[in-house]
């Protein structure tokens, strides 16, 4: 059993973790919208491939972090 004193610390840590994951999720969405705007504008190959690479590589990691945060919060 976890001591009562630690539960408060764990609650704060869990909330901070989920807040950081939420901020990263919003950033991920912003990158996706940026990619979409460039594609819709028909920039003719002037895409920023660094943005595409960040978006594609971080997506699966964010999904995993979100699932872990949700699973860790269950009682």
Over range 12-33, report the average pLDDT: 93
Structural domain harbouring 26:
14-73
7 lies in a domain?
Answer: no
Give how many domains the chain has, as a whole number: 1
Instruction: Render pLDDT for 41-67 as a digit per residue (tens, 0 to 9).
Output: 876 666 788 999 999 999 999 999 989
3-state secondary structure of 6: helix
**Neighbouring residues of 67: CB distance < 8 A, sequence distance ≥ 6:** none
User: Is the predicted pLDDT of residue 24 greater than 80, yes or no?
Assistant: yes
Return the pLDDT at 32.
93
9 lies in a domain?
Answer: no
63 lies in a domain?
Answer: yes
Among positive and negative, which fits the CA dihedral 48, 54, 57, 60?
A: negative
Read off the pTM. 0.76
Question: Which position has the higher pLDDT, 8 or 42?
Answer: 8
């Amino acid at each position: 059993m976890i001591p009562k004193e630690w539960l408060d610390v764990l609650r704060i840590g869990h909330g901070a973790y989920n807040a950081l994951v939420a901020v990263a999720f919003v950033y991920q969405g912003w990158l996706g919208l940026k990619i979409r705007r460039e594609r819709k504008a028909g920039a003719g190959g002037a895409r920023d491939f660094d943005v595409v690479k960040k978006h594609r590589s971080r997506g699966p990691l964010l999904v995993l972090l979100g699932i872990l945060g949700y699973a860790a919060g269950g009682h």
